[in-house]
């Protein structure tokens, strides 16, 4: 395992995940700019991805922090998939020894679909695209929460 040098708060590279039981969207972002870009979604079986595919992204981007979207009910309470997302977050930390945080992701799928539609209509609304755009939105909301005005 490569030794990582951790950057100061506000200068970190952050990898975001939109957890799903069939597909997991991935995005990469920078705290300094507060921006994020989508990477490639990975398929999952009952929420368990091919860890080698995630490792490939982690090795390439060398994130200092990972953020997993936490799917909550509209009233803020947990649902069944909330616990699976928390389990995924714990597994990420165990696999890569990188700090992992969770971020409320209510309404990100609807927001992702709206953004993708604006960018190219219905042809942009494939499942992987929606998951990846959701991961971008999760990161952007994480940055806004801590660094926004």
Task: Express each pLDDT in 82-133 by its tens digit.
Answer: 999 999 999 999 999 999 999 988 767 666 666 666 766 656 556 557 778 8
Helix 127-147 vs helix 108-120: crossing angle, to nearest 10:
120
Supply the Cα-derived Rg of the chain in whole angstroms.
Answer: 14
**In the chain, domain spans:** 22-147
Tokens of 128: 């992987």
pTM of structure:
0.82
What is the pLDDT, as a whole number, of residue 111? 66
What is the pLDDT, as a whole number, of residue 3? 47
CATH class of 22-147: alpha beta
What is the pLDDT, as a whole number, of residue 1? 43
% residues pLDDT > 90 (the chain):
50
């Amino acid at each position: 395992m490569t030794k990582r040098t951790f950057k100061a708060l506000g200068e970190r590279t952050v990898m975001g995940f939109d957890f799903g039981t069939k597909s997991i969207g991935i995005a990469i972002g920078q705290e300094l700019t507060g921006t994020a870009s989508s990477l490639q979604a990975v398929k999952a079986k009952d929420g368990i991805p091919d860890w080698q595919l995630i490792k490939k992204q982690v090795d390439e981007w060398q994130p200092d922090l990972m953020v997993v979207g936490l799917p909550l009910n509209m009233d803020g309470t947990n649902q069944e998939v909330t616990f699976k997302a928390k389990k995924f977050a714990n597994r990420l930390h165990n696999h890569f020894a990188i700090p992992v945080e969770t971020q409320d992701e209510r309404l990100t799928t609807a927001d992702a679909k709206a953004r993708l539609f604006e960018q190219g209509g219905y042809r942009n609304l494939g499942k992987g695209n929606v998951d990846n755009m959701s991961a971008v939105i999760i990161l952007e909301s994480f940055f806004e929460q801590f660094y926004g005005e």
